[in-house]
Structure 1
């Protein structure tokens, strides 16, 4: 017998051996190629080279590194004659894309065009897993897995023999690298180890594909007025930067609903285009307050583009055939807004410009009560939609000077607004005698400028003095106004100016103690101005919301917009308190009021809307306002805002909210109270309580619920309850809710919602609406 010539190295290290090609260690799934210049590093306890048979054998903690790929095994044999590599014993292969293959034996050719493994497991970076009896790779492209299972990673605490929540078991799994698709033949979806759905054929994109054409998971719809339907979406991957989703929903009562959404991305922007509609087979299911046509639909487009540098152009435009379209067909995938907007804006460190155009399509039903009949301006049955303005444009410019002016900061603000309304928007506060106007017909334009200067001084005692001054100027134009509403019927242009000077003072007093510190800070602010001009003679569209609380106490002008300009001399005072404990507890509060000292009180004299008369500022001594915020280290947070009557300290307005996280329980509660506002037609006080909670049961189950309760009328406005299950690869939720708050001719909207989600595969949902229940 001839002797065998061998070379044995103990604790061997072999480098620069390209003939032991690491192409053998290429990606088992993707079949990626390795660099021709890559160098191989092999480490082993023993390394043997059989010269006669031209075989290299590495044993004992063998590790091969090549071009970013790693192979670990108890033994690796490379047959140079047959150009085959064999890895045995606890084989772990990690490729450059993060895929991990585990098996007991792995056989591959030098160029990796052919490969074979038994009893393997492949874990991918997206936490999905393939398990199979055997897998074979052929022609460097197609990998075939026999008797395989596809699932997600299971929780490490799950018993080894327990089946995962869901998995796809297939007789044959074929991965085509060139087509980037994984096909399942004779497949079944198993839930908790039990097959629930069988399919002779399934397919999905491989993990390297982010976008792939195909059907998405269907959703289910059932509603009193729609019948039963199945929402079937199809996704079209048109290009790397362009895609389309088309969805068809056959409904047993109303026919075929169809919609699409197109998305396009460019180097400097993106846009979407969506539309949907239906020809209703039974339109009589809906009352005429909701829709009076057989054909209903909607259109929406969004976009945003960088024009140059800091300048962006964008839009979000929605058009719907009727006000209730998105309520009745809420399963549309893209939705819509009541406000359409087109904008052009730019922002730098010290200045910004934005130009906007707005249009509104409201969902609110028209008034049906004669109490809203205001001297002929709002007859019963008139369209609220026709009273919504087109706003074109609203231009805002802000600029802060970089260099100090008189050692202080000077900022400029400018606004131009022009809006057109077809019909005067009016209502009555007392059944027809007294009218209030949210807007007037015709075209209303206003140009405003505001220059504000301020400077802060701090003396050696820590007292802060901030003198300030501002000058506001407005120019109004109203074309074709209603002569019964404004004084501009006989004037084309009206100018208005409002100069002001003032001083703000504060003195924070810090008191430290063992365990924390507290700050007492008295604050006072005085502003001297002339009287506001033309009150009640000019339209008011952007200064209708008057909320007097601690957030606006020290605003030099408490109106929310430019159409009103506060006048007269006013003093605002308050006491700010802060408590900070080293243990982590934090408490802050503010209490104060406002004094009208001289001139006409802008909040006492009503404009065409009259919203200021119940604001708490209409008297020389205002209501009191206070706020409190508490944050504990135990997950409990409390915040409240309140306004108290100046005479008897009764509550005129109160908002309070609290949230808590305690172990598995997450909860929140909010309370709102608003006293009657007869000057704007609200004759009854409003008081509501809103609460929600979610309780986690064990590791994955949770129950949740919410309720909105009208304390004044003793009825439930909204309520809902549900149960959910969440795992790393599976989610399920079922909820039931009722809504009695919609002003649309229906008393109660009931929704049953059911959703199932499988990670990487998609989700399906079931929604049932009962929209006409008493």
Structure 2
């Protein structure tokens, strides 16, 4: 079929019109649209000056637009030449150059001088000279550099563009495109970029790092940077532990479908054989899930002790998922089943999904004012049984378990449901809210311990069920001088079903069903006093809170599952009830008093402090009356006048922050517990440090003071280089619990880190766990890591 003659659109200064290029035997003329005038041009290729845009239809009828300072046409050779700031637009291609020559006979054009071509896929090609067919499908390029949108770069002396859109680069280089000189590159005699298959093949390749060849590959293929998922081998990772030996994780990835994939990994180990792992992942319209199965037939099971013993076959199955079933509602799970307690820890280098000691299925619903959370949970411990060697009947024993079998003490929770509602409609001008809880669990063995000869019970054998419903009301009034009055009231109810629990525990009620209620009324008073000054302001605010209620009922007669942790500090000073859960209710008449201070500067920095104390004014002090666990004995609330609590927070708004929380004895003002945390940026240094102190609690089985310092720092040594480290130090025992030091490098094309860690936190008498770790990654082609654990 004869090629249709191009139809040109010309934009001239001050006037736009359409013109046709008419080929005659001797002249080419412009026929001005809307008139019969012909503008003749001489056959000797007289320049068409002042031409700004010329558009043509190519063979496939797609318009081609050309912009140039000057255009000439040689009618004898049928060649059009554009010069000076030439720009060509064809489909999604653009070409810029100093000169473009279009040979209509051969249907090819060439570009010369600072050539830049943008392709539909986003690639940018820079070259000295370029020759292509008029449909841009094939041709040759000299001194070429190809930049991709994924920030990679290919360089070659010469490149060929095939009709199938393959680009072949001779004597080429491939690397990441960065602002500075890249540290690595792949050199190859031939680089073939198959755009349709989305692969890059390297023939006669070598990988260079800092200009030094570090690996030779006669022929290999990898996905191009646009590919996010493609089947094939992933980069191996290397590992060493004392008990497993040396090994390499070799993963193979199957991109089975855009919505699901599978990874199979084999980890040959010199001491234990091959550890195998299979991971399945799938995305659905409403969520996603994953399943991981890993296992090994051990060659030398005697290397491991504890619950795994001399077991030949060890395995682990883990699955997790999360799905949106309605607006604000999520259904999910995270479950693990292990052949023994230690398999996940012993083979942690295999990265076994989300494996943990807890397995659960959950349903949550959240909106602006309501929250619902329901969970079924089970526990499979990793911690080994550590039989106590003392005599539990010896009253001088500080701490001893009455049963060493930890797993049987773990409950199955079926279920625990929490529901919180803030009602839209006000009641008596105030806010009404509801907190509900249902807890039901079964434990096969009573979890008991002896502290100084007194038996304590953390969990009771049998099935325990409690239904709780709490209503809370509050309203705030502010008078004309700024005093803030907040009356409040609440009612707590608990219904216990104890028919199948172990009733042989001393003082535990023998009733199968027990009801308990706790009504309360209270008033909170605040008077914030503001004083402004040039550059800021300060607020001094006394706070008083009075709560009246009856004595707590059935103390010591009921199980305590969720109110075992009592932390009294400045953050809980004004809590209406300072117990952590539903199984205990604060009773009697109590007053909470405090003074709050805030210094605020206009530039954003501030200082905030709070100091206060709590008083039991009347009735029975719930914190002084032991339950079956007696978790409140050293809470700081067991006396009529509590310990003093205070907090301090400083923020300079320039990178430095400090927060502190402390509790002081009510009689001698001795420090009982404190936490101090500080962080800051000082030029290239970023650091944080924390200090914690906990006074000895003999009644809780802690005979000695505990005191630790935890710190971490990162120092930017130079561009892209950083030195980092962390340490946890036991001030009482004068030894490091954990410490890490490392060196890292990160830029746009390459990252690597090397670190050394020590861990003594197991406290099991075994050797210190020393971990060596090395990681590097070449962007777009991958990386690997190596870890070695000595003492594990």
TM bin (shorter chain): over 0.9
1:49 aligns with 2:73: yes
Whether the 8 Å CA contact 1:370–1:380 is kept in 2: the answer is no
Bigger mean CA deviation after superposition, 562-571 or 177-186: 177-186
- Pairing of 1:258-407 with structure 2 (within 5 A): 258-289=276-307, 291-333=309-351, 334-371=353-390, 373=392, 382-407=404-429
Matched with 2:3 is none
Matched with 1:27 is none
**Aligned partners of 2:394, 2:159: CA distance in 1, in Å?**
83
Q: What secondary structure sits across from 1:235 in the alignment? A: strand
Whether the 8 Å CA contact 2:320–2:354 is kept in 1: the answer is no
- Please, which of 739, 749, 767 is the counterpart of residue 769 of structure 2? 749
**Aligned partners of 1:140, 1:8: CA distance in 2, in Å?**
37
- Please, which of 44, 65, 78 is the counterpart of residue 89 of structure 2? 65
- Residues 592-616 of structure 1: CA deviation (Å, up to 9, x unaligned): 1111111111111111111111110
Matched with 2:759 is 739
Whether the 8 Å CA contact 2:302–2:309 is kept in 1: the answer is no
Q: What secondary structure sits across from 2:325 in the alignment? A: strand
Shift of 1:652: 0.2
1:501 aligns with 2:521: yes
- Please, which of 235, 252, 258 is the counterpart of residue 240 of structure 1? 258
**Aligned partners of 2:147, 2:52: CA distance in 1, in Å?**
29
Matched with 2:22 is none
Matched with 2:114 is 90
**Aligned partners of 2:219, 2:394: CA distance in 1, in Å?**
70
Note closer, same or farther for the CA distance 1:134–1:248 as it changes in structure 2 (3 Å cut): same
1:513 aligns with 2:537: no
Shift of 1:747: 3.8
**Aligned partners of 1:118, 1:588: CA distance in 2, in Å?**
68
Note closer, same or farther for the CA distance 1:379–1:511 as it changes in structure 2 (3 Å cut): closer
Whether the 8 Å CA contact 2:388–2:404 is kept in 1: the answer is no
Larger gyration radius, structure 1 or structure 2 = 2
Matched with 2:52 is 13
Shift of 1:17: 1.9
- Please, which of 233, 236, 239 is the counterpart of residue 215 of structure 1? 233
Matched with 1:410 is 432
Note closer, same or farther for the CA distance 1:476–1:743 as it changes in structure 2 (3 Å cut): farther
Matched with 2:469 is 449
Whether the 8 Å CA contact 2:334–2:354 is kept in 1: the answer is no
Note closer, same or farther for the CA distance 1:276–1:380 as it changes in structure 2 (3 Å cut): farther
Shift of 1:482: 1.8
Matched with 2:578 is 558
Q: What secondary structure sits across from 2:122 in the alignment? A: coil
Matched with 2:105 is 81
**Aligned partners of 1:489, 1:502: CA distance in 2, in Å?**
31
**Aligned partners of 2:609, 2:309: CA distance in 1, in Å?**
50
Shift of 1:479: 3.7
Note closer, same or farther for the CA distance 1:154–1:310 as it changes in structure 2 (3 Å cut): closer
Matched with 2:129 is 105
Matched with 1:574 is 594
Note closer, same or farther for the CA distance 1:289–1:684 as it changes in structure 2 (3 Å cut): farther
**Aligned partners of 2:505, 2:709: CA distance in 1, in Å?**
39
Q: What secondary structure sits across from 1:490 in the alignment? A: coil
Matched with 1:166 is 184
Shift of 1:5: 4.4
Whether the 8 Å CA contact 1:367–1:380 is kept in 2: the answer is no
Q: What secondary structure sits across from 1:331 in the alignment? A: helix
Q: Runs of at least 4 residues of structure 1 off by over 6 A?
A: 374-381
1:542 aligns with 2:542: no
- Pairing of 1:510-659 with structure 2 (within 5 A): 510-659=530-679
Bigger mean CA deviation after superposition, 490-499 or 332-341: 332-341
Aligned residues, how many? 749
Q: What secondary structure sits across from 1:17 in the alignment? A: strand
**Aligned partners of 2:661, 2:197: CA distance in 1, in Å?**
61
Q: What secondary structure sits across from 1:545 in the alignment? A: coil
Bigger mean CA deviation after superposition, 398-407 or 58-67: 58-67
Bigger mean CA deviation after superposition, 607-616 or 285-294: 285-294
Note closer, same or farther for the CA distance 1:96–1:550 as it changes in structure 2 (3 Å cut): farther
- Please, which of 443, 453, 457 is the counterpart of residue 421 of structure 1? 443
- Structure 1 unaligned blocks of 5 or more: 22-35, 159-163
Note closer, same or farther for the CA distance 1:760–1:380 as it changes in structure 2 (3 Å cut): farther
Shift of 1:324: 1.9
**Aligned partners of 1:43, 1:670: CA distance in 2, in Å?**
66
Cα RMSD after superposing both structures: 2.1
Whether the 8 Å CA contact 1:570–1:598 is kept in 2: the answer is yes
Shift of 1:16: 4.0
Shift of 1:756: 1.2
- Residues 10-60 of structure 1: CA deviation (Å, up to 9, x unaligned): 2422244223x7xxxxxxxxxxxxxx7864432211122333433222110
Using the size of structure 1 for normalisation, the TM-score is 0.93
